[in-house]
Structure 1
Amino acid sequence: MAKNDSFEEIANGLAKWAKERDLLGKDPHIQFSKIVEELGETSAAYNKQKHDDLVDSIGDLLVTIIIFSKQVGVDPVACLNEAWRTIKHRRGKTINGVFVKESDLNK
């Protein structure tokens, strides 16, 4: 079984790939539309319980988000790290399948 690349290695590879294809200097609105398109495909694959399509569409969604982040000058690895640092010790409660953070439980 092949070793998976790290998120950082993939993000860097995607940035290089996108630069070689002249995507990074393009209008980020176009890439954002691709994110929405891929999210729709992810939803359809999930709703139809098509596992292989779900794996493909989640991968495509991540690719479009990483390219978008590079277009707008945001490091996707830093974003993921910041989100993780913010939530990793968060306390709360899952209600009807949705996690509600502790500070919102009292509102």
Structure 2
Amino acid sequence: MQDTTDRIRTWAVMRGLDDADPVKQMLKLMEEVGEVAAALARGDMAAVKDGIGDVYVVQTILSMQLGTSVEECASIAYEEIKDRKGDMVNGVFVKESDLV
């Protein structure tokens, strides 16, 4: 995975995306997330996988634009959730503090 992420970074730098506007990159991220949702609705798993990959690429570039890394962001998120408790409600994990 690290090799793929490094290749994404190189690709982005070669195209000047690392210095582009992160607001525009965020819009691109929302577009890609929407494509994943549409593919799920259609049951098109090949498009779901492609879309999830696209989301990762866009997140990697967005993190570069913001002076951080996708790995650092994922590590921060994991540290926040690693001991989280909660329950599945209608197929969705709900953290304990949000359960009523």
Fold shared, TM-score > 0.5 on shorter chain: yes
In the other structure, the counterpart of 2:61 is 67
| The structure with more helix, counted as a fraction of residues | 2
5+ residue gaps in structure 2? none
- TM-score, normalised with respect to structure 2: 0.89
In the other structure, the counterpart of 1:81 is 75
Question: Shift of the alpha carbon at 1:14?
Answer: 1.4
Instruction: Give SS of 1:74's match.
Output: coil
Cα deviation per residue 1:47-106 (whole Å; 9 max; x = unaligned)? 000111111111111111111111111211011112112212211111112212122225
Which residue identity does 1:10 align to in structure 2? Answer: T
5+ residue gaps in structure 1? 1-5
Aligned equivalents of 2:4 and 2:26: distance in 1?
20
Instruction: Give SS of 1:24's match.
Output: helix
Instruction: Give SS of 2:94's match.
Output: strand
Question: Shift of the alpha carbon at 1:19?
Answer: 0.6
In the other structure, the counterpart of 1:18 is 12
Aligned equivalents of 1:52 and 1:104: distance in 2?
34
Aligned-pair RMSD on alpha carbons?
1.4
Identity fraction in percent: 39
Instruction: Give SS of 1:93's match.
Output: strand
Aligned equivalents of 2:79 and 2:72: distance in 1?
10
Does residue 93 in structure 1 map to residue 87 in structure 2? yes
Q: 2:44 aligns with which of 37, 47, 50?
A: 50
Runs of 4 or more consecutive aligned structure 1 residues displaced over 4 Å after TM superposition: none
Instruction: Give SS of 1:99's match.
Output: strand
